[in-house]
Structure 1
Amino acid sequence: MKIEILGTGCSKCKTLEENAKKAIAQIGGFHEVKKVEDIVEIMNYGVMSTPALVVDGKVKSSGKTLTSNEIIELLK
């Protein structure tokens, strides 16, 4: 599973990245986490509000910081 965190580096973006890593640690398995900070690449997803969470190329959340438990629910 490929998980991307879209954001320019703000504190909310960093928190979402940390929470995603915690969620992955809890569910186990091999999952790639990538931080995307390039504005053009973020806009290619159609995201207008960051932070955003993308799972296997599909935007699952944007504009809010999810908890690790919320992320686990999205990954199921």
Structure 2
Amino acid sequence: MNDIKILGTGCAKCLAMTQVVEVVLNENNIEATVEKVEDIVKIMNFNVMSTPALVVNGTIAIKGKVPTKEEVLEVLNR
């Protein structure tokens, strides 16, 4: 099971990333825990300066943009 964290302060792009990730998980029957991290101090602990960011199993996979469904699926299949 993947451990997914979505880093962002709740902006429109952060919400869009959350929606894309949830759609990919549902469409592909992928089990994962999804946590939204909105605390700026916790986000900075990942050394991320541009949000939104997608962290999969402790590794920053995508940052600074809203990914496509294909990009998210590729990251989850690594």
Q: TM-score range by the shorter chain?
A: over 0.9
Q: Secondary structure in 2 aligned to 1:9?
A: coil
Which position in structure 2 is the counterpart of 1:58? 59
TM-score, normalised on structure 2? Answer: 0.92
- Say if 2:31 is the partner of 1:21: no
Give distance in 2, aligned partners of 1:26 and 1:74: 15
Q: Secondary structure in 1 aligned to 2:54?
A: strand
Give distance in 1, aligned partners of 2:8 and 2:21: 13
Which position in structure 2 is the counterpart of 1:40? 41
- Say if 2:5 is the partner of 1:4: yes
Q: Secondary structure in 1 aligned to 2:36?
A: strand
Q: CA RMSD in A?
A: 0.8
Q: Secondary structure in 2 aligned to 1:13?
A: helix
Identity across matched positions, percent: 46
TM-score, normalised on structure 1? Answer: 0.95
Flag structure 1 segments of 5+ consecutive residues without an equivalent: none
